Amino acid sequence: MRSLFYCFFATFKKNMEEYKQSFGIKSWAEEDRPREKLLDKGRQVLTEAELIAILIGSGSKNETAVELSKRILQSVGNNLNELGKLSVQDLNKFKGIGDAKAISIIAALELGRRRKPDTVKREKIITSKDAFEIMKPSMMDLPHEEFWLLMLNRANLVTKKELISRGGVSGTVVDTKIIFKAAIENYASSIIICHNHPSGNLKPSEADLKITKNIKDAGKIMEIPLLDHLIITENGFFSFADEGLF
């Protein structure tokens, strides 16, 4: 009797495990599967978890790709900007996410970050906000400091933007000679400089004030005036020109 009970229990347990394994995305109604849902109804109807599930393709033994994606999103408060800051090592901590899946997520978010919004079509600088909108796609979500140069012609049209230096969390080294070498090579009539503060602090440091003065003074000699210096964070920007710090 006891052996019969154990045999029945073992069979029941095996059937339950098989049921759990088969209860993945492929067992869902076709209209609920992310890929089929996208083809049938369009990308706009998919949730963020479903979009990520398409990227990673599969979940783990006990978790569907959508469930895994939801868990990853919940870990960053369902904030895609925060998700974009995670490294391969951070994503590897989730069971079911290896290097290949982590790289797919990071690459997709990076493409989204680089994509220029349709609403920002003009490349002419009239106000400090114009410069901010041009640089925002390149500088948001960065965990380190970067220093960029905007080069303008006489009509204040941006002819080129160039990364001058990349540093650590609290600063980056800026060489005035490199800035004006790039400006001269690209026949810039004027320039705007930009750097980010990963901390979110918009207040300029003493180093920020000093480098601004040095570049402004050099611009007068080179006849390539510095029009503005922007400090950019996720929450906004600080304009030296708007604040009268020139």
186-214 pLDDT tens trace: 999 999 999 999 988 999 999 999 999 99
Contact 68, 96 (CB under 8 A): yes
pLDDT value at residue 30: 46
Stretches where the chain sits below pLDDT 70 are 1-32, 116-122
What own/partner pairs with CB < 8 Å and gap ≥ 24 does 213-218 have?
214/176, 215/176, 215/179, 215/191, 216/246, 218/176, 218/179, 218/180
pLDDT value at residue 22: 44
List the structure tokens of 107.
């690459």
> How many CB atoms sit inside 10 A of residue 165's CB?
17
Q: What are phi and psi of 149, to 5 degrees?
A: -125, 125
CA distances from 205 to 117, 174, 240 (A): 31, 14, 12
pLDDT value at residue 8: 44
Q: What angle do CA 58, 84, 32 make, to 5 degrees?
A: 35
List alpha helices for the chain, DSSP H.
2-22, 34-41, 48-56, 65-75, 80-83, 88-92, 99-114, 128-139, 176-185, 206-222
pLDDT value at residue 65: 92
Domains contained in the chain, CATH given:
2-114 (1.10.150), 128-239 (3.40.140.10)
> Distance between CA atoms of 69 and 63, rounded to whole angstroms?
10
CA of residue 41 relative to chain centroid, distance? 27
Q: What are phi and psi of 224, to 5 degrees?
A: -125, 85
> How many CB atoms sit inside 10 A of residue 86's CB?
19
Q: What is the DSSP letter of 84?
A: T
> How many CB atoms sit inside 10 A of residue 122's CB?
11
HSE (side-chain half, CA atoms, 13 Å) at 244? 0
CA of residue 168 relative to chain centroid, distance? 17
Contacts of residue 41, Cβ cutoff 8 Å, sequence gap at least 6: 31
* Closest among 235, 136, 240 to 191, alpha carbons compared: 240
